[in-house]
């Protein structure tokens, strides 16, 4: 199981000092946090994508390419790549380039984002959000899997004899997660392709997360990719820790109360009771995170949000020390207990490459397998249809 962190890259005043970091300071802090994640033994660093204040990560691959040069093991990902407003051609080329620079330590999470005005900024209509996500991703898959693409759709100009460059590393496309907190159509899309489904459940109660994950698992099996238990699931979470839980609550409360995303709403106590947010000791974080398995099943990736709401860099780095030293080692051990042998690990470039090699050999041995693959490729090129 993979453990990591994700950042939304917000530039928020520290409510205890009133100071707002500069954009440069926030960008540099995100890099420092990524490097610290590798230092303390985490597996993944993911950045969001935003094109509006008060957020800074408008170019995820730029940041991840820089982090790639300074790390050796860390998987570099996104917590949102805007499949609706980005050109699929640009996504295909940017992430293939990043694959080569990072020696394959790359995957990405498709999402529609949470900022309505971004659509007209990029010449799109928010009312077509789902349809954009479906068509753009169908094209992206072809761009990564076909050397020459002829394509015509609804939302962009046609392509004639087009080859995106560079080609994916080792001929293997980056693994894709589809992130959604409220849209069953996106869970359906992830299931159709056999991709991963990431439910960023940081604002949602357990019963909502359970329904979304169960829908994805059932549809994953429906499309013939494996059993429901073998579907690839990731979850989000938020934590703030101190050795003593009372100290954690006291220190985090002003940040919670003034946070742009949930400040001036439910109390800290109500929010921690109703959502995955955990504010307390490392042991409390361990216990609440382990409980995710009760409603999501055995899953593959757990990402935590640490650096938001104006928390200073020093505090976030202290959180990472606690996460790496006291929390994740226990979670790795406990999540392994009772995990069925047929539940897969989170895909990596190495595992995808190995599976591609096996598939290639199987195709050579069986004409029927080739016919089946051709049929699936043709279906994929049309994209998932959502009623």
- Spatial separation of the C-alpha atoms in residues 158 and 162, rounded to whole Å: 10
Residue 39 pLDDT: 98
pLDDT at 365: 55
C-beta of residue 27 within 8 angstroms of C-beta of residue 56: yes
- pLDDT of amino acid 361: 59
Yes or no: say if 96 and 167 are a contact pair by the CB < 8 Å rule: yes
Predicted local confidence at residue 141, as pLDDT = 97
pTM of the model: 0.91
For the chain, what is the HEC assignment? CEEEEEECCECCCCCCCCCCCCHHHHHHHHHHHHHHHHHCCCCEEEECCCCCCCECCCCHHHHHHHHHHHCCCCEEEECCEECCCCCHHHHHHHHHHHHHHCCCCEEEEEECCCCCCHHHHCCCCHHHHHHHHHHHHHHHHHHHHCCCEEECCCCCCCEEEECCCCCCHHHCCCEEEEECCCCHHHHHHHHHHCCEEEECHHHCCHHHHHHHHHHHHHHHHHCCCCCHHHCCEEEEEEEEECCCHHHHHHHHHHHHHHCCCCCCCCCHHHHHHHCCCEEECHHHHHHHHHCHHHHHCCCCEEEEECCCCCCCHHHHHHHHHHHHHHHHHHHHHHHHCCCCCCCCCCCCHHHHHHHHHHHHHHHHHCHHHHHHHHHHHHHHHHCCCCC
Owner of token pair 């597996």: 43
Helix axes 206-222, 184-193, angle to 10 degrees: 30
pLDDT at 201: 75
Tens-level pLDDT at each residue, the chain (387 residues): 999 999 999 999 999 999 999 999 999 999 999 999 999 999 999 998 888 888 899 999 999 999 999 999 999 999 989 998 899 999 999 999 999 999 999 999 998 766 678 878 888 888 888 899 899 999 999 999 999 999 999 999 999 999 999 999 999 999 999 998 778 999 999 999 999 999 987 777 889 999 999 999 999 999 999 999 999 999 999 999 999 999 999 999 999 998 877 777 889 999 999 999 999 999 999 999 999 999 999 999 999 999 999 999 999 999 999 999 999 999 999 999 999 999 999 999 999 999 988 876 554 555 444 444 444 444 444 456 443
CB 169 within 8 A of CB 348: no
Of 201, 185, 234, the residue nearest 77 (C-alpha): 234
Q: Which domains does the chain have, with CATH numbers?
A: 2-382 (3.20.20.30)
Q: Which residues pair with 75 in a beta bridge?
A: 44
Calculated CA dihedral for residues 292, 293, 296, 299, nearest 10 degrees:
110
* CB contact at 8 A, 99 and 168: yes
């Amino acid at each position: 199981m993979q453990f990591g962190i994700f950042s939304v890259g917000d530039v928020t005043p520290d409510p205890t000092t009133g100071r707002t970091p500069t954009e440069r300071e926030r960008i540099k802090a995100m890099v420092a946090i990524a490097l610290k994640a590798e230092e303390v033994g985490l597996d993944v660093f993911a950045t969001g994508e935003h094109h509006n204040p008060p957020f800074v990560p408008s170019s995820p691959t730029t940041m991840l390419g820089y982090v790639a040069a300074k790390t050796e093991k860390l998987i570099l990902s996104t917590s949102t790549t805007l499949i609706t407003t980005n050109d699929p051609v640009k996504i295909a080329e940017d992430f293939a380039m990043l694959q080569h620079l990072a020696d394959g330590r790359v995957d990405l999470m498709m999402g529609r984002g949470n900022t309505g005005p971004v659509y007209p900024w990029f010449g799109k209509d928010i009312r077509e959000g789902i349809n954009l996500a479906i068509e753009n991703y169908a094209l992206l898959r072809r761009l990564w899997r076909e050397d020459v693409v002829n394509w015509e759709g609804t939302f962009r100009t046609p392509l004639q004899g087009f080859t995106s460059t560079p080609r994916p590393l080792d001929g293997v496309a980056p693994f894709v997660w589809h992130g959604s907190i409220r849209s069953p159509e996106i869970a359906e899309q992830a299931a159709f392709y056999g991709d991963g489904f990431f439910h960023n459940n940081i604002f949602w109660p357990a019963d909502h997360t359970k329904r979304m994950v169960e829908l994805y698992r059932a549809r994953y099996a429906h499309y013939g990719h494996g059993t429901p238990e073998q579907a690839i699931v990731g979850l989000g979470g938020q934590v703030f820790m101190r050795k003593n839980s009372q100290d954690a609550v006291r220190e985090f409360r002003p940040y919670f109360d003034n946070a742009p995303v949930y400040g001036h709403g439910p109390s800290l106590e109500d929010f921690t009771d109703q959502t995955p947010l955990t504010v307390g000791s490392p042991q409390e974080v361990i216990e609440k995170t382990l409980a995710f398995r009760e409603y999501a099943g055995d899953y593959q990736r757990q990402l935590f949000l640490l650096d938001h709401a104006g928390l200073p860099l020093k505090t976030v780095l202290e959180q990472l020390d606690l996460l790496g030293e006291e929390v994740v080692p226990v979670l790795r051990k406990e999540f392994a207990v009772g995990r069925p042998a047929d539940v897969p690990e989170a895909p990596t470039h190495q595992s995808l490459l190995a599976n591609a090699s096996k598939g290639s050999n199987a195709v050579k041995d069986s004409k029927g397998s080739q016919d089946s693959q051709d049929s699936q490729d043709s279906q994929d090129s049309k994209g998932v249809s959502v009623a």
